[in-house]
Amino acid sequence: MASPAGRANETPDASLEIPTEWLMPGLDLETVREAQRPDTTATLTSEYLALAGVELVVERRWLREANWRQIKQAITRGYIYRNSAVQVTLRGERREHERRGTKAA
């Protein structure tokens, strides 16, 4: 298992930045962290909620109804692995990145 220090130089497998105006009022960062894997980083600023890690979860109850359909726009790296009426799960593009690197060589 890789140590956090070993991952420091790697880019996260998946990441997203959700603008704070999309979030429900009073959303607690601990609520977001509880839904994530232990190795996921979560940051909430006045501008956005940022998540980064191997697999990310976004729950519909965290977002204003009008913005739920726009969640794809918040993805900065990775792809939607699972999508339901109440939750979206993102995963990184590690394998795809490796394939691209092989083709370019």
Residue type, 12: P
What is the domain partition of the chain in residue ranges?
11-104
Per-residue pLDDT tens listing for the chain (105 residues):
444 444 444 565 999 999 999 999 999 999 999 999 999 999 999 999 999 999 999 999 999 999 999 999 999 999 999 999 999 999 997 554 444 454 444
Q: What contacts 44, CB < 8 A, 6 or more positions away? A: 20, 27, 29, 32, 50
Could you give the CA distance from residue 2 to residue 10 in angstroms, rounded to a whole number? 11
Residues 50 and 19: beta-carbon distance below 8 Å:
no
**pTM (2 decimals)?**
0.77
CATH architecture of 11-104: Alpha-Beta Complex (3.90)
Which pLDDT belongs to residue 12?
Answer: 58
Tokens at 76, concatenated: 């900065």
